[in-house]
Amino acid sequence: MENKIFLYLYPIQEFNKVFLFPNEFYEEMKREKPFDILNECINERYRKQGYQIVYVLYPDKEMFGINPMPNDRIIYTDIIFKEASGYNEDGTEKEDKDIKYPNEQYLINQLGFVDKIVIGGFHFSDCVKRVAECCLENGIDTLVDLDLTDLFFSLYYQKNYFKKDEYSPERYKKYWQQKASRYGENIDFIEKRFRRMYGSPVYKFYADNKITRKK
């Protein structure tokens, strides 16, 4: 039997709370509350499709915005949030050299044997990408579900695009290109910009691209 995992990185208050608004906002905008939809998507897209749901937390942080089910798992990073944060405790920005990343291989080792993995969470172009590329280097069939990364909060209410029970890279690319074209960009420039942003093979747009990871 194929071992499939949906891995969600860092559902913590520091990342999730910035996307919350008062209830009156959602009523006025006629939008559903984002975390209700996020939890439903995880269930429909992955839990119901036989994926083991695994959340990654910093050992000094608790889960926020996500409703784990009894069979879900939680694994932990090898560093605490203070080490990974881009800000010092006094609110000043850290220099790049002072920001630590969790060890991606340490996370993957906690998963055990995996045939297929889909990754979401924070942030799609940084930690999510790094973990996904490490999975790919380990020979795991890997995909980043861009809908369920930090991009989720600007996508979930797009009725002409978003589907609760399905992620399609092809549909995402078409939506992104259509949105860019409304600003008058020509198709060649749009394609170049898209490839620059989403060229990693973990997004499954360009199978010919190789992984170029930042160490």
CA separation for the pair 17, 160 (Å, rounded)? 26
| H helix intervals, 76-208 | 81-84, 104-111, 127-137, 152-155, 169-181, 187-198
Q: Please name every residue paired with 120 in a beta bridge, in sequence order, or none if there are none.
A: 8
- Classify 25 as helix, strand or coil: helix
Specify the pLDDT at position 184. Answer: 74
pTM: 0.93
Q: Please name every residue paired with 199 in a beta bridge, in sequence order, or none if there are none.
A: none
Span of 23-32, 78-87, 89-98, 169-178 with lowest mean pLDDT: 89-98
Confidence grade of residue 177 (pLDDT, cut at 50, 70, 90): very high
Q: Report the percent of the chain where pLDDT is more than 70.
A: 96
Q: Is the dihedral of CA 46, 61, 136, 52 positive or negative?
A: negative
The pLDDT of residue 181 is above 50: yes
Confidence grade of residue 89 (pLDDT, cut at 50, 70, 90): confident
What does pLDDT average to over the chain?
A: 94
Query: Cα dist. 199→2, 63, 140 in Å?
Result: 28, 31, 18
The pLDDT of residue 192 is above 80: yes
Average pLDDT over residues 41-46: 98
